[in-house]
Structure formats: structure tokens, C-alpha cells
Structure 1
Amino acid sequence: MTPSTADHVPHAQLSVEDFEQLARTSPETVTLELINGKLEVKPVPDGDHGTIFMWLLRQCMQHRPDLDLHPEQGLMVEAYRQGRARPDGALAPRRHFAGQGEWAPAEGVLMTVEVTSYDHDTDRRDRRDRYEKPHGYAAAGIPVYLLIDRESGTLVVHSEPDKGRYRQQHSYDYGDAVPLPGPVDITLDTEELKNYVR
């Protein structure tokens, strides 16, 4: 049976080694992540999701040509690199991931980005600060986590990781100027995002 989008196996505790073996042998149509010891199946993005990612990519290239925004780069996250996540985007210095394997250390990544999908598991997986990906990104010391929430029409900027949590969290509406704090130091013009509201 093929897993549906956003399937969650709540009681399965996988080792990193078992997860990496499973991820290597899974079909290309499935994106697997290991978050908090649990197997997660990431939803397949739709056209608006991809368009929003490209909007962000253009803004990053325009303001910070010294950085690259990598789509779906596998990262070792959480304490002691025990998690495996594929954020929608990982912002890092140019050529940062050259020579890395499928799962790269999170050190040196300046920002991770998630663009929410329209599925039943988005809230638990992407939004809640104390669970899942935000916790993993903070525990890995990634300075900024940007959540583009398509359902609420907001961008939420998390910063100042400390003890597995982001100490700062600021929410902005589509259309606002959104300052991304250092070390990213970009202000996003989000007016275009109003075109992708359902």
C-alpha cells in the first residue's frame, strides 16, 4: 500500500540508519523525513507551492547573491543530528552543499523555509513551535526558520534558537514588508503572495 500524503506513523521509532536505508529505496514520488524519531511522508507540492518557492528564490538571489536557496536539501537536524528533514528551502552560502551527501549537516545553514500544503497534517508538522520541524531546526542551531502559511496568508519568522526552541517569533500578513533577521538580512516584498490566496 502506498502511503498517502502527510502520513504519520506515530509509534514507529526508527534508527537513523534504518531510516536512511528506507529513504534510499523509496519511490521518487515519495519524500520521507525522520522527525523526532518518527517516519513522516511529506506531501507532494502543488503549482502554487512551487511558484511561491520560486518567488522566494528570486528575492534571495536579488538581495543576497552570495547565498543559494536549495530546494529539498536533506539536512541532519535535531540534537546530535538524529533527525532527517527536507525543508522546502535551505539558505546557505554559495557552494555550501558541494561535495555533501544526501543528508548534510545543518551547520552553516542560515535559514530553513517551509511553505505549507493544504493537507490535514500541516498544523502539527510545520506550525507548532514545540513540535516537529521547528523544534528540529532550532535544536540544530539554524538561525532563522521562515514559515509561509498559505492557509492563513501569513509569513512567520522564527529566530534566535536556544535550547531547542526559537525565542523570537513574528507574524506578518501577505503584502507586508517582512524583515528576515541576521545572518540572513533580507527584507521580503510579499505583495505578490496575495495572488496565491485560495
Structure 2
Amino acid sequence: MTLMHHDTVEDIMRGEKGHELLRFLEKIPELDQLKIELIDGKIVMQASAAPFHNRIVALLTAQAVGEGWEVLPEQALISDISSFEPKADLTVTTEEAIRNNPNPLPVDHVELVVEVVSSDRDSDYVKKRMWYAMSRIPLYLLIDPNECMIELHSQPDRLSYRRVDPYQFGDPVPLPDPFSFAVDTTRFKPYPPKLP
């Protein structure tokens, strides 16, 4: 990527160059252990998630795969909203939708995205939720181990989802069509209290 002297950081991140910079960073071996996303025009790098976070992701993966779905951890997603390229904790889709191995995966190939809240609550509760809704992803499952709370967002409409169904850890979370199962949350664990 060649930068012109008059390019500002905001110009770079808001346009296609933000995606080019993301591709560049993904090729640096020293950054392999980081999750690198483009969120609201900013490159966000996060270290590996904690075990309870990863455990929830693993439990969800096993359930969805057992029901015949394709489940992609940290899959880059793309839409015509150029200042974003998130990597949801889980993306649920069909075998047909990934047959040609597209990367980043276009959002019209996605049935459900899952985010497990870790350190940046604003990203999962506000920025990603808005982008998922604007990009017309049918279902967004938000899991917050800080609060032992789950929200199933459905019916995307402009900047948000029209419907939000709240649940607690331990509750079954029924997924609407095209899914035919309820997520079992009985083995989800809350994050331990943070040490002072």
C-alpha cells in the first residue's frame, strides 16, 4: 500500500485502504496471536481471549455443528459499509455459502453471528451490533459473562435490531428459523471477579 503525503489516518481507515492495511497486518508473523479487526474505521488488536470466553465459544460451536451448521471462529466479515471488517467470535452459515471459500465472507452468506463480551464492551454492545444490523445479518447472539446475560437480536432494521430477547445463563435460547434448536447455556460460566 502506497500512502500519499496528504492521506490522513482517518482517510486511510474509512476507505478501502483500511482493508488494505488490515490485510498487511494479517501477514505479519509476529501478530499471528492477535485478533485484528477494522471497527468503525479503527484497527483493533486483541490478545487471545480468556479460557471462560473460549469455553463458551467451544460449547456453542459443538452445538451448532451437531445441528448441521458450518461454524467459523473469528471469520472476517465484509459488507458495503467500508469502515468495518469485524471478526465475530463465531459466524454460523451453511456449507453452500462457503463453497467458494470467500474471505472475507460477505454478510449475505451469514445466518448468525455470536460475540462473547470480553474487554471492549462498547464494541460488542454498540459498534458491532450496529454494523451487523446495518449489514442485515439476521441474528446476533450477544453473550456477556460479566453479567451472566444473553441477548438474541433479530429483525435487523437500519442501525439496530427491532427485537431483542433477553436470557440468563442457564436458560435455553431458542433460535428462530432457519434454525431448529435452542442453545443450551447451562455450562456457561461467569467471569471470575477481577482482582484489585
Into which bin does the TM-score normalised by the smaller protein fall? Answer: 0.7 to 0.9
Q: Deviations over 1:40-82 (max 9, x none)?
A: 22342122212111111121123x21x11111111104x4454
Q: CA deviation at 1:153?
A: 0.4
Partner of 1:20: 22
Aligned-CA RMSD value = 2.0
Deviation at 1:138, TM superposition (A): 0.9
Alpha-carbon distance in 2 for matches of 1:179, 1:134: 20
Deviations 1:119-169 (A, max 9, x none): 2xx2211123xxx11111111111000011110001111110011311111
What is the match of residue 97 of structure 1? 98
Give the number of the structure whose residues are more often strand, by fraction.
1
Compute the TM-score of the two structures, normalised by the length of structure 1: 0.80
Q: Which protein shows a greater Rg?
A: 2
Cα 1:53–1:29, aligned 2, differ >3 Å: closer, same or farther?
same
Gaps of 5+ in 2: 1-8
Q: Residues 96-141 of structure 1: CA distance to partner in whole angstroms, max 9, x if unpaired?
A: 2243343121112000001111x2xx2211123xxx1111111111
Tell me if the contact between 2:74 and 2:90 (Cα under 8 Å) persists in the aligned partners.
yes
- Correspondence for 1:192: 187
Which residue of the partner structure matches residue 33 of structure 1? 37
**For residue 46 of structure 2, what is the aligned residue in structure 1?**
42
2-side partners of 1:43 and 1:126: how far apart? 16
- TM-score (norm: length of structure 2): 0.81
**141, 145, 170: which is aligned to 1:146?**
141
Task: Report the more deviating stretch, 41-50 or 82-91.
Answer: 41-50
Pairing partner for 2:122 from 110, 121, 124: 124
Q: Verify the 8 A CA contact 2:90 2:114 in the aligned structure 1.
A: yes
* Structure 1: runs of 5 or more not aligned: 1-10
Number of aligned residues? 178
Q: Identity over aligned residues, as a percent?
A: 26
1:76 counterpart (75, 78, 94): 78
Aligned residue type for 1:91: V
Query: 1:188: Cα distance to partner?
Result: 1.4
Aligned to 2:60: 56
* Distance change in 2, residues 1:39/1:197 (3 Å): closer
Local SS of the residue matching 2:109: coil
